[in-house]
Amino acid sequence: MTFAQVIDFKTERFSDLDRLMDRWVEQTKGKRTASHSLLGKDRADGNHFVEVIEFPSYEEAMANSKLPETDRIFAEMVALCDGAPTFTDLDVVRNDQLNATTARRFFHEIVVGGNLDAIDEVFAADYADHDIIKEQDTVVGRDELRSDVTGWRSAFDFAFDLDRQICEGDDVVTLWTFTGTHTGDFQGIPATGKQVTMTGTTIFRFKNDTIQEGWWHYDIMGLMKQLGLMG
């Protein structure tokens, strides 16, 4: 379960503290387990700040706190504060933005970037896939998805523009535009070198921070026409 820590503090030396945080980010690069950090200033009190730090789990947060760099930076932070900071530990029970970020990670890092190993991080082991061009209504497991991504990457040199994302409950809906060059065999069609564009919508349903189920709807007929398969 995602975990967040809220740090509430006051300081008249924010510029010094800001530089301190930059130093912590630099010194813990490749070691820290924090996935996201947000710092806000109280509009009613310019010396009052609240920082929210997000971690993949409570255990990851504890590992982060044991870093020697974190210990040193915290001691220096306390010295810059007006009084001791207060901490609130939260188990995150809902985070739509996190799910949207994970959905974007699939398109940008996995499909376009080619990091297929990340499929195991982003998708549940029993992920259920619903794709309009497949004979089976539902295909379960990550292997089929990995094969699909490999097939599209071998057939096209492409990019995705994510035109819009809508989050509701555990669902993230992504409207996208696919633009690419046909460079390899696709559905039995040899490479044509043609530039193609296709629009589509993907719905991902999340559970425990991973994608549990996906529905794909896209203009496959329009793509086939562009490749010269249909008149």
Residue among 176, 197, 1 at smallest CA distance from 91: 1
The runs of H, that is alpha helices, within the chain are 14-27, 58-65, 68-80, 96-105, 119-122, 142-155, 220-226
Contact 215, 130 (CB under 8 A): yes
pLDDT of residue 231: 58
**Hey, what domains does the chain have and what are their CATH numbers?**
3-91 (3.30.70.100), 96-226 (3.10.450.50)
pLDDT of residue 96: 64
pLDDT of residue 21: 87
β-strands 123-131, 210-218 pairing: parallel
pLDDT of residue 70: 85
pLDDT of residue 36: 80
135 burial via Cβ count (<10 Å: 0-12, 13-18, 19+): exposed
pLDDT along the chain (231 residues), means of 10: 91 92 86 86 95 90 88 89 93 81 96 96 95 86 95 96 90 96 93 96 94 96 89 58
Contact 5, 63 (CB under 8 A): no
pTM for the predicted model, two decimal places: 0.60
pLDDT of residue 37: 86
